[in-house]
């Protein structure tokens, strides 16, 4: 794809500003962003993040996806032009799924049940002894003392 056929996110924003006769300062004020951030986007020096896409979509009555797609398309084209990354990508092998036979022929590990019984014994709850009337009364008195304090 030629660079001239690509819609740069900043160019689209600049065209919308012209169409609506809005300057970057007014846009920045309306969507509560800094003027420098808007100018960076318009000059294609900054990317349109999700937060910015959400604001622009509300302001210009578009979808968030529209702005994200513009930015992603531009980013992918730039990635394709990165020769260093292209060399790395060429060297990456493709993942291969194991055949059904290979998966079926692997032995299934048996579960060690010797520890399970030990864990169950430790986690068993002991029956609770009923408290004496004297113990209940002293707890109530302590509770009342804390409430009065």
Overall pTM surpassing 0.75 (yes/no): no
Number of Cβ within a 10 Å radius of residue 67: 23
Task: Give the SS3 label for residue 86.
Answer: helix
CA trace torsion 77, 83, 86, 90 (10° rounding): 150
Segments making up each domain of the chain, as ranges:
8-81
Asked if residue 84 lies in contact with residue 74, where contact means CB atoms within 8 angstroms, the answer is: no
Domain 8-81 has CATH 1.10.260.40: yes
Range of weakest confidence among 26-35, 71-80, 109-118: 109-118
In the prediction, which pLDDT does 100 show? Answer: 82
In the prediction, which pLDDT does 1 show? Answer: 40
CA trace torsion 42, 44, 50, 56 (10° rounding): 20
- State mean pLDDT over 41-46: 95
Going by the DSSP 8-state scheme, the letter that residue 42 receives in this structure is H
Token couple for 93:
């092998």
Residues in the chain: 149
68 membership: H or E segment, kind and range = helix 64-80
Range of weakest confidence among 16-20, 64-68, 99-103: 99-103
In the prediction, which pLDDT does 104 show? Answer: 67
d(CA 25, CA 36): 9
């Amino acid at each position: 794809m030629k660079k001239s056929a690509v819609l740069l996110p900043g160019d689209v924003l600049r065209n919308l500003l012209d169409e609506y006769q809005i300057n970057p300062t007014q846009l920045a004020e309306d969507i509560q962003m800094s003027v420098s951030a808007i100018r960076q986007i318009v000059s294609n020096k900054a990317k349109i993040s999700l937060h910015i896409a959400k604001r622009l979509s509300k302001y210009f009555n578009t979808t968030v996806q529209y702005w994200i797609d513009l930015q992603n398309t531009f980013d992918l084209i730039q990635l394709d032009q990165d020769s260093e990354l292209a060399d790395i990508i060429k060297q990456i092998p493709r993942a291969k799924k194991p055949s059904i036979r290979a998966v079926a022929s692997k032995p299934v590990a048996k579960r060690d049940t010797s520890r399970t019984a030990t864990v169950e014994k430790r986690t068993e709850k002991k029956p609770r002894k009923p408290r004496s009337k004297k113990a209940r009364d002293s707890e109530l008195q302590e509770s009342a003392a804390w409430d009065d304090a």
